[in-house]
Amino acid sequence: MRDKRQTKPKSNNKSESLDRWSIHRARPMLIVLIAFTIVVCCSLLLFQGTSAASGPSASEHTTAPSSMAVSAAPQATPTPTVVQFSQVSYQVTEDTVQTNITVTRTGPNTLPSTVDYVVNDGTATQKSDFTYASGFVLFLGGETSKTFPVLISDDAYAEGPETATLQLTGASGATVGTPSMATLEIIDNELIDGLINPIDDPRNFAAQHYHDLLNRDAIGSNDQAGLDFWTNQTAVCGSNSDCLTERRENVSAAFFLSVEFQNTGYFAFRFYRASFPDGTPRPRGLPRYLEFLRDTQQLGRGVVVGTPNWEAFLEQNKQGFALDWVDRTDFLAEYPTTMTRDEYIDKLFVRLGVTPTQQERNQAVSAWDALGSLKEKRARTIRAVVDTGGVYNAQYNPAFVLEQYFGYLRRNSDDAPDNNFSGYDFWLNKMNAFSQPGEDVRNDQVALARVKRAEMVKAFLASGEYRRRFGAGAPPPVGPSSIVSLKVGRAGSNQLARADTDSHQRRWLSKSESETLTGAKRGK
Ligand SMILES: [Ca+2]
Ligand SMILES: [Ca+2]
Ligand SMILES: [Ca+2]
């Protein structure tokens, strides 16, 4: 993400990104193609066998005795296309950086292949040591080696080497070979626990925001200018605590308000809200953390706002996302293909809690009525609905609150230590209370003003749970010393303070900090 005043040329591989969605969507076709090839090959082999039984062909007379023909037959079996990790173990030194994992393809490679990957917790955890990642690698014709990025975080804990688990989970146009599992070892960069929390370093604060909200590394995505800009926003404060408090909040909010997040994370959020009711898989119809990250990462792939062709990348990603979305089993269960245009549109708006204006409804109708397959109509229409001003404004507060938990705390809002939605509700009520009639949050300044009135970002940045991702949960060297000092209200203080003492969070507490908290509790 970069400031709007900045532009910087960046070379990027446009054709690959533009092809990616179509290849990904074409998976079923690839499977059919492969099956067809196998059937044809088997038929030819069978035919050869029949010929051999009735008499050797002329060529066999000149090349090999007929007894050899039988043993030669297996060689005609097509060599499979196989994808696998290039190594069983990768290494990276701890820092706020990106490391690239190589996947190789062997066998025939003229056709495209894709393979899904996921990066999970080992002894290293997605909360503190790396960014959970899930997606797919695309091999275009002729390609035999590709990489996917894993984002690494810096912490102040001396924990020795830790490992994340890498897995290839499914392929099209190929089979998954060995190794399909690998480890990523993160080499610690400190021998004793650091005294300074890395998140208090201006550059690291900005760099971690790229990871947490935009799912990309600033340097890894050639966005040095953006990183410098956001670093400078807080670096100029020096040790002025008032300045730091305000500017850290502004920088952090800016990542949420950015065109890039609004068109990836917030875009995906509205699809979930339009589609699913309150229920066990998704309480309150909210996306779950891991599925949201996967969707956001797919929407953002190749997109660096401000660089050449970023709009084309984004548009391609959004189209692909919407087409995939209307094919998802859980969406089809809510919106069967037997629905009429008007039933479909009405249900989307109702689920989103929005009464459309005539113009907004007309936009949805036009999206449906344009030429295309039923699937295309349904994909275009849900997109038109979630992009209306009414929906954008209606879903803004719940999305912003949820993203506090996803982005900063790296978990669902009802995961431990909350275990329920009371914290989420507290902040949503606060955001709603600070919203004014007629505000249009599509205007950045209006949105920022609301966020600042609610003091939510400030509270999450100062929370022990956020700070302990990177280092001691003790107060930052400057700035607000506790959530209570932020005057965010009793319920909010309690909610976030709970994270300080819950046993689920012991991993985030140093021994001395734990004692301090226990002592503090006893003392008060
Ligand atoms: Ca660590
Ligand atoms: Ca470190
Ligand atoms: Ca460390």
CA of 157 to the centre of ligand 2 (A): 6
124 vs 263: CA distance, rounded Å: 30
Q: Which residue has the tokens 């446009």?
A: 14
Q: Which residue has the tokens 């509270």?
A: 459
> How many other C-beta atoms can be found within 10 angstroms of the C-beta atom of residue 403?
23
pLDDT of residue 456: 93
CA of 162 to the centre of ligand 3 (A): 9
CA of 257 to the centre of ligand 2 (A): 29
Any idea how long the chain is? 524
pLDDT of residue 305: 87
363 vs 497: CA distance, rounded Å: 46
Ligand positioned closest to the Cα atom of 188: 3
| CA nearest to 322, candidates 366, 273, 267, 362 | 267
> pTM (2 decimals)?
0.79
The DSSP call for residue 478 is S
CA of 461 to the centre of ligand 3 (A): 20
CA of 159 to the centre of ligand 2 (A): 9
Q: Is 56 exposed, middle or buried (0-12, 13-18, 19+ CB in 10 A)?
A: middle
Ligand positioned closest to the Cα atom of 154: 2
CA of 222 to the centre of ligand 1 (A): 26
Q: Is 243 exposed, middle or buried (0-12, 13-18, 19+ CB in 10 A)?
A: middle
Ligand positioned closest to the Cα atom of 130: 1
Provide the CATH topology of domain 82-194. Answer: Immunoglobulin-like (2.60.40)
| CA nearest to 184, candidates 272, 98, 270, 107 | 98
Contact indicator for 103, 83 with CB cutoff of 8 Å: yes
Strand 145-152, strand 97-106: pairing: antiparallel
**504: three-class secondary structure by DSSP:** helix
CA of 406 to the centre of ligand 1 (A): 19
Chunked mean pLDDT (size 10), the chain, 524 residues: 42 43 49 44 41 35 38 69 98 98 98 97 97 96 97 97 97 97 97 94 98 96 95 96 95 93 97 97 97 96 89 95 98 98 98 98 98 98 98 97 97 96 96 94 91 92 95 53 30 29 28 30 30
The domain locations on the chain are 82-194, 200-258, 397-523
CA of 100 to the centre of ligand 2 (A): 20
CA of 453 to the centre of ligand 2 (A): 34
- CA-based R_g, the chain, Å: 27
Q: Is 313 exposed, middle or buried (0-12, 13-18, 19+ CB in 10 A)?
A: buried
CA of 198 to the centre of ligand 3 (A): 10
